[in-house]
Amino acid sequence: MFRLNGMNALVTGASGGIGSAIATALAGQGARVALSGSNGEKLRGFREQLMGEIGAPEHGDHVEITCDLSKSDQVEELIPATLDTLGSIDILVNNAGITRDNLGMRMKDDEWDEVIRINLESVFRLMRASAKPMMKARFGRVINITSVVGSTGNPGQMNYAAAKAGLTGMTKSFAQEVASRGITANCLAPGFIRTAMTSALDEKQTEAINARIPMGKMGSGEDIGAAATFLASREAGYITGETLHVNGGMAMLG
Ligand code: NAP
């Protein structure tokens, strides 16, 4: 169950904490993965690690494709480059994301613009470009990584919360447009996950966060990788326009 044999996937932000765990999980189930990020060196390092730990599926090696998602011309080239390299795109995981936190009254236009451009607009462009090949193939899985913060809000994150909430509405709209063609589009909303971002927190901050989580601990990249694998699988074909919350019970959002 949940095998991804023969499938081709594009994962953005694949060199990051959650993206690398998602790519590893998809590859572990037999998918061939195009790893994307803006830093080619980081991507190459992770690809080598993936090839060493998991190896390549029968249908070809994992590849890296550099793309700066803040540059619309580069974003427009990412799906065509993926199709050129992999031959098809069965799974699109829009995972790359940034934060530029500031209280609303102090937030600069640049901080707003950058977060919206990378976390929301680039996802629109990638979904738009992947629609045609997925429709032709009569199969597709789009997984957009949102955040618990998109549902609950968070002080200092008007830009980030707006982008993540925007992804939810955008995903539901896309899901309705393409459902009859065998394509599903869902959001995966992590709570607090142990990554480089959260390891910067001190012991006191970590304790305070853990106290807000019924499971008493932050999640791992593997928790998100497993959820993404499920949504990417053939078996999840009747689930679309949904958000799968993976947050240890921190916010039970129905
Ligand atoms: P991370 O470790 O900082 O990784 C971010 C990834 O995004 C990196 O691979 C980075 O690659 C890529 N990226 C950043 N700017 C980019 C750009 N301009 N163009 C292309 N790629 C870019 O973050 P993470 O914690 O794994 O987060 C991954 C996703 O999960 C994000 O969407 C985040 O909002 C979401 N999330 C995280 C948590 C958490 O607790 N960690 C909780 C909820 C949601 P380069 O360095 O190569 O650019």
Q: What is the pLDDT of residues 187-203, one digit of tens each?
A: 999 999 998 777 778 89
For residue 70, the model assigns a pLDDT of: 98
Q: How many CA atoms lie within 13 A of 117 on its CB side?
A: 15
Q: Whose CA is nearest to atom 4 of ligand 1?
A: 16
In this predicted structure, the answer to whether residue 130 has a pLDDT above a threshold of 90 is yes
- The pLDDT of residue 222 is above 80: yes
Per-residue model confidence as pLDDT tens digits over 15-71: 999 999 999 999 999 999 999 999 999 999 999 999 999 999 999 999 999 999 999
Q: What is the pLDDT of residue 198?
A: 79
Beta strands in 38-181 (DSSP E): 63-66, 91-94, 140-145
Is 247 in contact with 148 (CB distance < 8 Å)? Answer: yes
Listed in sequence order, the residues at least 6 apart from 72 whose beta carbon sits closer than 8 Å to its beta carbon are 121, 122, 125
- pLDDT of 188 reads 98
Closest C-alpha to ligand 1, atom 5? 16
Contact by Cβ (8 Å): 22, 222: no
Closest ligand 1 atom to residue 42 Cα is 47
**Alpha carbons 110 and 157: distance in angstroms, whole number:** 14
Span from the CA of 100 to the centroid of ligand 1 (angstroms): 12
Alpha-helical runs (H) found in 68-121: 72-86, 109-116
> Could you tell me which residues are beta bridge partners of residue 245?
189
